[in-house]
Amino acid sequence: MADSNHFVALSECHFMNPQTLEEINYYPNVQRWWDSVNGVMRAWADRNLTDEDSEWPAPVAEELIKYMDIAGVDVCFCLREGMMDISGHTVSFSTNGFMMQQIAPYTDRMYLECMVGPIIRRGVDNAIWELEYMVNECNAKLCKVYAPEDLGALDDKRLWPFYEKAQELDISLTVHTGMSYVVPQPNSHTLPGTLDQVLLDFPDLRMIAYHMGWPNTEELIGLAGKHKNLYLSMSGIIGWYARSPYRGYHAIGTALQWVDPSKIVMGLDLPFDDMKRVVDWVRNLQIPEELREQYDYLEITDEMRAGFLGGNLARLAKIDTKKRV
């Protein structure tokens, strides 16, 4: 019987500033962006966020906390949404400052997952300054690198000083990997193979690869077997695994043949009302016996579930695992 009282922590909980969204709504790329968001939401959550009768929680802290309590989630790492290219690089959907204002009332439940990009486009020195400030002055526990809106791929050598600083600060980087799900952003900047040279040159840099690198999941898994500090995150794609479970069984079963269970973490990157659905799926996760026999997959133990749900991420973000709910 699965233990439902494990500590649960989710990264990549995106907030957007409602006022900013209204202010940029006239840009042509706004509707194109939402249309492409609906493409991935169709797969991950079987929903369309722009239908006239569509309802989903506002992406702000007071809504997030409601669904954390409903789902029994102890801690969330809260992340701004960039997407400056949608408005011709006029403004991001939300800022680190907005995030800190939002999470301030929820000490010990919500932590800052900062993002200081697009790193090359804004100037690497500027990004390094903000990263250092976020870590040392604002208690950021994670930092996301989102290359699809930047001028180069994850292995662009112009990023090397940024990676060096992250390694020096001993902060884990969360990284979008796999295809870029939204327009006008290219897929080429975040293919899993772009992580290889980064981790060869920065072996002590911890990187948490989001979305299991889909559609190149097996390549990412192989890289995680190769590099001791590359971790696999089910963020976002966990919604697809929960509604199409055999897809999840194969991905997780394959991963566990290559990496220790301590290298697999959860995440959200979904509307907040999907939270209970995906967390409960992991709480009860077991690979069917037929697949274990056919593919030699491991049986999922309660210790593994505890790590996936929050223990592994807490270690990487350096927070305690006491229950908050």
- Angle between helix 160-169 and helix 124-138 axes, rounded to 10 deg: 10
How far is 229 from 234, CA to CA, in rounded Å?
Answer: 16
How far is 35 from 15, CA to CA, in rounded Å?
Answer: 19
Q: Which CATH class is domain 9-317?
A: alpha beta
Q: How far is CA 185 from the centre of its chain?
A: 18
CB 82 within 8 A of CB 115: yes
Residue 221's nearest CA partner among 266, 251, 245, 194 is: 251
Taking the model in full, what pTM does it have? Answer: 0.97
Question: Could you identify the residue written with the tokens 């293919």?
Answer: 191
How far is 33 from 238, CA to CA, in rounded Å?
Answer: 22
Per-residue confidence (pLDDT) for residue 243, from 0 to 100: 97
Beta strands in the chain (DSSP E): 9-15, 75-80, 110-115, 142-145, 172-176, 207-210, 230-233, 264-265
Dig out the tokens for 136 from the structure. Answer: 């040392």
Per-residue confidence (pLDDT) for residue 1, from 0 to 100: 43
- Sequential pLDDT tens for the chain (325 residues): 455 799 999 999 999 999 999 999 999 999 999 999 999 999 999 999 988 888 999 999 999 999 999 999 999 999 999 999 999 999 999 999 999 999 999 999 999 999 999 999 999 999 999 999 999 999 999 999 999 999 999 999 999 999 999 999 999 999 999 999 999 999 999 999 999 999 999 999 999 999 999 999 999 999 999 999 999 999 999 999 999 999 999 999 999 999 999 999 999 999 999 999 999 999 999 999 999 999 999 999 999 999 999 999 999 999 999 999 9
Question: Could you identify the residue written with the tokens 């290559």?
Answer: 258
Per-residue confidence (pLDDT) for residue 95, from 0 to 100: 98
